[in-house]
Amino acid sequence: MSHEMNSLAPELLTGQQRMILVDWLTQLADDEFIIGHRDSEWLGLCPTVEEDVAFSSIAQDEVGHAVFYYELIQELEGVSADDLAFQRLAHERKNSLLVERENGDWAYTIVRHYLYDLWDQIRLDAMVESRYVPLAHGAKKMKREEYYHLIHFQHWFARLTKCGGEARERMKNAMELVEQDLDDLLDMGLYETDLFSWGILTKSSEEMRSEFYSRYEELWRDMSDLSERKLIFSKQISKGRMGQHSPALASVLENMTEVIRFDPNAQW
C-alpha cells in the first residue's frame, strides 16, 4: 500500500482535519520543546563531563525536533514557529506533565527521559507512514537521531538499576514518581481516535499504549527483585494535553521567555 497515493495534502485538509492535526502537532512540539529545555538545565551540573556533552547534544536534538513540529504548524496556521514556542501562555501548552517536572536527581532524570523516549519511539513509528507526508518525512529523520538517545538512556538505566545500593534505591523511587505521570504522557488528547482513522497515525492509541506497557513491564522484570508491575491506562480527565499544568511549567516558561519579554524583536 502506498500512502503517497492517498496522502493528505496540506491545502486539501478540511477545517476539522486541520484542527486535529494542529492539536497533535502541538502536543509533540511542546513535549519536545519542554524536555529539551529541561535537558539543557543540566549543563555544567551533570555527574560527569561526558554527560554535560551528551545532555547538550540531546537538548539540541529535542529542541530541533520541536522546531520541526512548530514549523509544520506554521505552514498550516500561519503563526511563526518562534511565536508558537515563546508567545503562548501555560494553559495554551499541550505538553505532558511528565516533561515539565523539575529535573530532580540524576535517577529521576534518567528514568523520565528513558520512558519518554520509549514512548516517543512508539509515536514516531506510528508516523513514519503517515498520510500527512511532511510529518512522515520528519518522523523518519527523527527516528534516526533518537536512536542514539535510546541507546544512551538504556545504558544508564541498566547501569543504575543493576549496581545496587543507593543508586538502585533512587531508581526505584524515580520509577514510582514517573509512573504517576505515565497516563498523562500516554494520553493523546481529545482526538486520538481521529488521528488513527484519518491515517495521520498508522497505529491506534490503544495499540501504541499496549506496546508501551509491555515494554514497561519488561523493564520491571529486568530489575529482578523489584516487584511485578501491571499497568492499565486510565483515561482520567486529561491534564497536560488540555492545557492544565503544574507550577513547574510556569517557571520553565518564565525562564525561557526572559529574552523575548525584555526585547520582543530580539534576534537569536
Partner 1 sequence: MTQTHNGKQKKERFHQILDEVKDPEIPVISIVEMGMVHQITVEDRTIWVEVMPTFLGCPALEMIRSSIRERLLQEPDMDEVFVEFIRDPLWSSERISPIGKEKLAGFGLATPAMDGLDQVECPYCQSSGTSLVNLFGSTACRSIYYCRSCKEPFEAMKPI
Positions in the binding site for partner 1 (CB under 8 A): 50, 53-54, 56-58, 60-65, 67-68, 133-134, 137-138, 140-142, 144-145, 147-148, 151-152
Nearer to partner 1, 97 or 135 (CB): 135
Min CB(249)–partner 1 separation in Å:
22
Nearer to partner 1, 136 or 253 (CB): 136
Cell of 196: 488513527
| Residue 121 DSSP label | H
Q: Are 233 and 223 in contact (CB under 8 A)?
A: no
Q: Which of 33, 38, 214, 49 is nearest to 119 (CA)?
A: 214
Q: What is the CB-side half-sphere exposure of residue 8 using CA atoms within 13 A?
A: 23
Cell of 54: 551528551
Nearer to partner 1, 129 or 207 (CB): 129
Min CB(117)–partner 1 separation in Å:
14
**How far apart (Å, rounded) are the C-alpha atoms in residues 111 and 177?**
9
3-state class (DSSP) for residue 198:
coil
Nearer to partner 1, 151 or 163 (CB): 151
Min CB(90)–partner 1 separation in Å:
24
Min CB(56)–partner 1 separation in Å:
8
Q: Are 36 and 102 in contact (CB under 8 A)?
A: no
Nearer to partner 1, 103 or 246 (CB): 103
Nearer to partner 1, 138 or 189 (CB): 138
Residue 219: in which H helix or E strand, if any? helix 205-222
Residue 193 CB neighbour total at 10 angstroms = 12
Min CB(144)–partner 1 separation in Å:
4
**How far apart (Å, rounded) are the C-alpha atoms in residues 258 and 153?**
31
**How far apart (Å, rounded) are the C-alpha atoms in residues 114 and 94?**
20
Min CB(59)–partner 1 separation in Å:
9
